[in-house]
């Protein structure tokens, strides 16, 4: 009996789209596993920290965080409306906010902006306009961080106990304020002035000739400047929607700043108002030390600031609760939303 080998499919070509659909099923699980491995030590510390918190304090922190991300979703909604686009049927601004937080974590802090651009594009916004909207959204966040940080520093500086701490970090606070102000002014000038944008493009062309190794990077900067200048004036000219964006950012950050006080009120010498103001100062100072997804810089400055008023152990527990409420919970909720969305797409594909 002659055994014949199976027929080979050498004559058939596999469609590239089919290969991509098969591969993309494994991209998110692989990235998820890698991110959990990267954050494993921090996650273990968070678990140990939340054991010291009462159920009431933990639930209050979670609710404050969810409220903050709802306001972030409303910010996205107003930004899309400023572009003349309504929310899509499948993804609202709030849903996009949680999905972006999921991608931010699995990409170690680098994928949130790309995810937001992607979902805005699916809602009918061109990628170029979506990129400009995310840059302007970031600018409004920096404006609110600057206002709350400077206001909190000015009030705490006049206090007896808090004034000593603020005096020690006067130079760092000035540097943080200058950096924030410089970022805001650059964004506004590039968005509103075609002349400044043109001069900046000429400077980048000159820079590319002097630094050939930077050519690709300079090309990306030029593209972002052109996108920002084309859409900036139109978007910023809609004052009503921009006021709503600013108010949403104020509400979001105030909710974030309130989370540590759900735990520290009973252990700290600070009042709830002083704690919120000090958190605004800490959040602004953390911008001076850039780290992947904000990990590390905020913890260090938070521990230095709040340990002076309640002890190091309580400060470390409070920042771990803050990370649990602002990292783990929105990350998990974003993952659930993504799985539910993919399950719905799979069911609809089977029916068709």
Q: 182: which 2 tokens?
A: 């410089």
- In degrees to the nearest 10, what's the CA dihedral of 250, 331, 53, 310? -50
pLDDT at 340: 80
Question: Is residue 293 scored above 50 in pLDDT?
Answer: no
112 or 46, higher pLDDT: 112
The verdict on pTM exceeding 0.75 is yes
pLDDT bin (cut points 50, 70, 90) of residue 352 is: low
Average the pLDDT over 106-116 and give the result. 80
Average pLDDT rounded to a whole number, residues 115-143: 89
Mean pLDDT over 258-272 rounds to: 81
**What local confidence, expressed as pLDDT, does residue 301 receive?**
86
Higher pLDDT, 276 or 262: 276
pLDDT band at 189 (very low <50, low <70, confident <90, very high): very high
Q: What is the pLDDT of residue 345?
A: 57
pLDDT in tens, 133-171: 999 999 999 999 999 999 999 999 988 778 887 888 888
């Amino acid at each position: 009996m002659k055994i014949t080998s199976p027929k080979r499919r050498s004559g058939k070509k596999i469609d590239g789209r089919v290969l991509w659909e098969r591969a993309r099923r494994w991209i998110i699980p692989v990235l998820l596993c890698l991110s959990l491995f990267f954050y494993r030590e921090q996650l273990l510390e968070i678990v140990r920290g939340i054991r010291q918190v009462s159920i009431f304090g933990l639930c209050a922190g979670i609710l404050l965080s969810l409220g903050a991300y709802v306001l972030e979703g409303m910010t996205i909604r107003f930004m899309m409306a400023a572009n003349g686009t309504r929310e899509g049927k499948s993804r609202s601004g709030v849903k996009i906010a949680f999905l972006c937080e999921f991608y931010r974590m699995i990409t170690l802090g680098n994928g949130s902006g790309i995810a937001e651009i992607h979902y805005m594009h699916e809602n009918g916004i061109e990628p170029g306009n979506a990129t400009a909207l995310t840059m302007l959204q970031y600018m409004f966040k920096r404006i609110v961080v600057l206002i709350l940080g400077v206001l909190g520093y000015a009030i705490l500086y006049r206090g007896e106990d808090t004034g000593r701490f603020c005096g020690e970090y006067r130079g760092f606070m000035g540097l943080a304020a200058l950096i924030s102000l410089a970022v805001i002014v650059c964004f506004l000038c590039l968005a509103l002035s075609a002349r400044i944008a043109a001069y900046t493009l000429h400077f980048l062309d000159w820079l590319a000739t002097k630094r050939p190794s930077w050519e690709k990077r300079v090309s990306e900067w030029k593209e972002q400047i052109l996108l920002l200048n084309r859409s900036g004036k139109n978007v910023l000219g809609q004052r009503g929607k921009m006021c709503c964006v600013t108010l949403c950012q104020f509400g979001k950050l105030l909710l974030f700043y309130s989370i540590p006080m759900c735990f520290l009120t009973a252990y700290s010498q600070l009042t709830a108002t002083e704690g919120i103001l000090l958190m605004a100062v800490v959040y602004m100072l953390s911008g001076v030390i850039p780290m992947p997804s904000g990990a590390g810089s905020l913890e260090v400055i938070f521990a230095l600031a709040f340990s002076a008023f309640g002890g190091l152990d309580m400060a470390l527990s409070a920042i771990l609760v803050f990370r649990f409420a602002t990292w783990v919970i929105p990350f998990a909720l974003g993952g659930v939303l993504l799985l539910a969305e993919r399950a719905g797409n799979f069911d609809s594909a089977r029916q068709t």
